[in-house]
Amino acid sequence: QLTMSLNSSTLLTEENAQGPKRNTECLESLELQTPSSFQDNPLQQLQLASQEVLEKAKKSGRSKCPRCNSSRMFYCYTCFVPVETVPTKEIPIVKLPLKIDIIKHPNETDGKSTAVHAKLLAPDDVTIYKYPCIPEYEEKRHEIALIFPGPNSVSVKDIAFHLQKYTKKGVYASDGDCFREPLLKQAKIEPEEEKNPHECISSSRNEGNRLKKIIFIDSTWNQTNKIITDERLQGLLQIELKTRKTCFWRHQKGKPDTYLSTIEAIYYFLVDYHQEILKESYKGQYDNLLFFFSFMHTLIKDAKCSAGKE
């Protein structure tokens, strides 16, 4: 049977959410296989490393964390390492084009969070902080953005255009810089010399490439307000992923299907960033960020199907 370790928390989704039915029928074969076992699985096109190691671990059941000796399935969500039955050398490592900070709400259950997937699969580029212990971002606002939906959020393709409004001191440049309104109410205003509008547009790609870090909030909807209103996050450029739909198995009924789980948000942001900002063709470079997510997606879909819930 599936345990809590196979359930994950979603970005901007209430903790006890029950997901709507996303498949209309089960296939005749209910064997626990790879993500391609469902014809309508939107994750089936991913270019993933072999998940045979996860298949073996599933059959052998829960195993010990090599650090804390806790009993876990696949990985330890407190130590951020695979369990003994999942050799680290068989887990793919993904290199990201920028650094990622994940701010986790202290009341968020570790075993429900997909944030740990990012740390496991991109250990050199991902850092997880437990709120209120987070970095000071003020001096780096010109090279940092926050993924969070809201009235002031912009799309990924517009990062370059908006990021150039920030000076190296991390404050918002106004009035004379070809932008009339501040992006965020909390941002400070610092006058600069008048610039040519055409120069702003032509330099936007270079400015967008100076983005060095992205911040994600790992929290339920009811808990998010405490973090997003923290003064250390005020004035940051906010990005919203408006065109992607979640595959998360605990998506809350009544909420937009564009509310993604944490690992989905990270993955889709990077795909869009690769294409819209780096202007490079995407060839699956970050697909393995969904290595665990896609496998669990199949396990839970198959379990629901077998139980007659779909």
What's the rounded Cα separation, in Å, for the pair 237 and 147?
A: 9
Q: Are residues 236 and 290 in the same domain?
A: yes
What's the rounded Cα separation, in Å, for the pair 160 and 169?
A: 17
Domain final residue, candidates 37, 71, 87:
87
Residue 75 is inside which H or E element, if any?
strand 75-76
What's the rounded Cα separation, in Å, for the pair 99 and 269?
A: 13
pTM of the predicted model as reported, rounded to 2 decimal places = 0.74
What's the rounded Cα separation, in Å, for the pair 139 and 220?
A: 28
The span from the first CA to the last CA of the chain, in angstroms, equals 17
Q: Return mean pLDDT, the chain.
A: 76
Is residue 290 in a domain? Answer: yes
What's the rounded Cα separation, in Å, for the pair 285 and 281?
A: 10
pLDDT at 223: 79
Q: Are residues 246 and 143 in the same domain?
A: yes
Domain final residue, candidates 87, 118, 137:
87
Residue 62 or residue 202, greater confidence: 62
Q: Are residues 82 and 222 in the same domain?
A: no
Across the range 119-141, mean pLDDT stands at 95
Give the pLDDT confidence of 154-193 residue by residue, as tens digits.
999 999 888 888 766 556 654 344 333 334 434 443 444 4
Is residue 189 in a domain? Answer: no
Q: How confident is the model at residue 50 (pLDDT cuts 50, 70, 90)?
A: very high
Is residue 181 in a domain? Answer: no
Domain final residue, candidates 28, 62, 87:
87
- Which tokens belong to 6? 């196979």
Q: What is the dihedral of CA 6, 7, 12, 14, to 10 degrees?
A: -170
Q: How confident is the model at residue 20 (pLDDT cuts 50, 70, 90)?
A: very low
Give the pLDDT confidence of 230-289 residue by residue, as tens digits.
999 999 999 998 767 666 555 555 555 656 889 999 999 999 999 999 999 999 999 999
Across the range 56-77, mean pLDDT stands at 95
Q: Closest Cα partner for 57 from 36, 76, 39?
A: 76
Residue 142 or residue 38, greater confidence: 142
Q: What is the dihedral of CA 113, 114, 118, 119, to 10 degrees?
A: 30
pLDDT at 220: 78
Task: List the single range of 28-32, 110-114, 278-282 with lowest mean pLDDT.
Answer: 28-32
Quote the domain boundaries for residue 256: 92-163+209-302
